[in-house]
Structure 1
Amino acid sequence: MQLSGSITALATPFDVARELDLDAWHRLLSMQLEQGSQGLVAAGSTGEAAALYDAEYDLLLRSAVEFVAGRVPVLAGTGQPNTAKTIEQTRRAAALGADAALVVTPPYVRPTQAGLVAHYRAIADDGALPIVLYNVPSRTGCDLLPETVAELAGHPRIVAIKEARSEPERMQALLGLQDRDFTVLSGDDPTACRAMLTGARGVISVASNVVPATFRHLCNLALGGQGDKARAWDARLQEVYAFLGIEPNPTPVKALLALQGIGHDLRLPLQVLSERHRDAATAMLATIRGIEDECRKSLAA
């Protein structure tokens, strides 16, 4: 499979009792499909996967697969600190109907590069799902280096990497590995436009939870080589990116979704957005609505 364009790392809606809110989940899925998202990630880090019980993981992923019904790829977050557990979770996701597994580098344990090669090869060799590597060292304490990715990219079940480091040199090194069978995706919203203009095939985005139409349009422009127009829309989104970073992800994006009636809470140790940022969240909701309306009008013109 080849992933491309605007792929949303979905937040998981909880109700006021911090239980799964499936009605809100379906509204979020519907909004994403209606506004043009080209792929969806369930139970990734933005989806608070570490806070989900097994039965909740199953319900969340199964309902997403059934709701989407093949219209776009559904990726499941399956990365665990341990290889055997990651294989087990990837098999679980396959049985639930996921199209691919998004596998973060093992958090906290900080394996060597040789350990990362062995880890990912074992998961891919098991064959449950196509594998998307995920490198986000700011969260895991472990950096998947380009030379290590080069050792993995030829595996027929390793189909892509989500790279969350923002340095242009890192993206350029990875783009040298991209071919028909291996895709490079940005995992960093503020630099995703630049990455796509230099050759990345898309982005796995947090921001597209709340600006899905604009992010799809931005991706279309960037992937279509319309650099000036893509950069203009990216400039409009800079204040959105800044807001989404004011507290740990997914706190800010869930605050914006809650203001739209999609979910209410997070699970400890995460907490709802601090009181000092509540007015900024209300103002940001008006901003994103304006951006989305302007995007839809420009597409209709």
Structure 2
Amino acid sequence: MNWTRTVGARHASPMELHGIHVPLVTPFTADGAVALDALEQLARDSLDAGAAGLVALGTTGEPGSLTDAEQDAVVELCRRVTAEHGAVLTVGAGHGGTARTAEALGRLEGRADAALVAVPAFVRPGEAGVLAHFRELAAGSPVPLVIYHIPYRTGQPLGAGALLELLALPQVAGLKYAPGGLDEQTIALLAAEPRGVMAGDDLFLSPLLALGADGGILASAHLETARFVDLHRAWADGDVPLARKLGAELAEVSRAAFAGPNPTALKALLHRAGRIPTPAVRLPLLAHH
């Protein structure tokens, strides 16, 4: 059975965002320092397995618990590794306020290909406020933006119309889409065939790809990276039987990776596999057992 995606007219994007991107954990040594050697190996393993890009300082990387110097070291390491592989580096940036977020974006010039910026959390500015926030950021950002829509954490739902307006902004490269499920807004969003919609809820990667998403930004893709890449390729190639099989199998991988607050269970699995020196996280997170 063949399945092909119909591509209609889409807005011009400052970059192509597609494939599987891995938002890296920040491994720690036994004495609590950032384990840069282990981080570099995770980055190289992900790209060698076919990932199209990496995300540094996403929520999976515990950026709020890192010092400025540690954040800089993580970004510079990831910049070097992605440059060697010809891959995309996206760096997490953003605060509740527009001005502070703009300052953070300004510091990424020459250091990242894109910035992952969440919808402002907790303040719930409404759809009009979110649109104004991102218009302001897009107008001045030195790097393309990937908007992170995760309403069960931000408290701010957005309909398909608002998301399409955001994706049409000239300095917006894509959307990390993590609504917590699939509903009529999901159908309406993907029916419009926007470019750069990336699955952000790991469990829903396969159905979102089936509906037309361009890829995924997935913490669980630390594990079985090549098979996540194969799943993306299977839907793109129209190999529905393989895509369904891989989707079901990898949903179990994602469940295991999210058995505790992210990235606690994922770090436990990576440590058990000998890929990071400890399963340690920093407060307020507690290590998963």
TM-score normalised to the size of structure 1?
0.86
Q: Indicate yes or no: 2:188 matched with 1:173.
A: yes
CA separation in 2, counterparts of 1:83 and 1:14? 31
Write the deviation string for residues 170-201 of structure 1: whole angstroms up to 9, x where unpaired: 3222213434xx32111111111111111111
Write the deviation string for residues 264-289 of structure 1: whole angstroms up to 9, x where unpaired: 21110101113xxxxxxxxxxxxxxx
CA separation in 2, counterparts of 1:83 and 1:148? 18
Gaps of 5+ in 1: 275-301
Q: Which structure is higher in RCO with an 8 Å CA cutoff and minimum separation 6?
A: 2
Q: Indicate yes or no: 2:63 matched with 1:57.
A: no
CA separation in 2, counterparts of 1:152 and 1:26? 33
Q: Indicate yes or no: 2:130 matched with 1:116.
A: yes
Aligned partner of 1:188 among 195, 198, 201: 201
Q: 1:226 to 1:110 in 2, by over 3 A?
A: same
How far 1:44 sits from its partner (Å)? 0.4
Q: Indicate yes or no: 2:250 matched with 1:237.
A: yes
Equivalence for 1:290: none
Q: 1:6 to 1:124 in 2, by over 3 A?
A: same
Equivalence for 1:80: 95
Equivalence for 1:24: 38
Q: 1:51 to 1:178 in 2, by over 3 A?
A: farther
Equivalence for 2:141: 127
Aligned partner of 2:49 among 26, 35, 50: 35
How far 1:168 sits from its partner (Å)? 4.1
Asked whether the 8 Å contact 2:22–2:51 carries over to 1, the reply is yes
Asked whether the 8 Å contact 2:102–2:141 carries over to 1, the reply is no
Asked whether the 8 Å contact 1:27–1:262 carries over to 2, the reply is no
Paired residue secondary structure (1:142): coil
Q: 1:228 to 1:168 in 2, by over 3 A?
A: farther
CA separation in 2, counterparts of 1:177 and 1:229? 26
Q: 1:243 to 1:91 in 2, by over 3 A?
A: same
- Number of equivalences: 271
Counterpart amino acid of 2:233?
A: N
Gaps of 5+ in 2: 1-14
Counterpart amino acid of 2:282?
A: R
Equivalence for 2:220: 207
- Equivalent residue runs for 1:278-297 within 5 Å: none
- Please provide the CA RMSD for this pair: 1.5
Asked whether the 8 Å contact 1:254–1:263 carries over to 2, the reply is no
Counterpart amino acid of 2:103?
A: E
Write the deviation string for residues 219-248 of structure 1: whole angstroms up to 9, x where unpaired: 110122211111101111232222122211
Equivalence for 2:113: 99
Aligned partner of 1:161 among 167, 175, 189: 175
- Equivalent residue runs for 1:10-21 within 5 Å: 10-21=24-35
Paired residue secondary structure (1:214): helix
CA separation in 2, counterparts of 1:234 and 1:272? 28
CA separation in 1, counterparts of 2:158 and 2:73? 31
CA separation in 1, counterparts of 2:207 and 2:199? 9
CA separation in 1, counterparts of 2:243 and 2:150? 25
Asked whether the 8 Å contact 2:53–2:82 carries over to 1, the reply is no
Counterpart amino acid of 1:192?
A: L
Equivalence for 1:45: 59
Identity %: 36
CA separation in 1, counterparts of 2:53 and 2:186? 21
How far 1:136 sits from its partner (Å)? 0.8
Counterpart amino acid of 1:204?
A: I
Counterpart amino acid of 1:25?
A: L
TM-score normalised to the size of structure 2?
0.89
CA separation in 1, counterparts of 2:70 and 2:62? 11
CA separation in 2, counterparts of 1:176 and 1:198? 8
More helix by share: 1
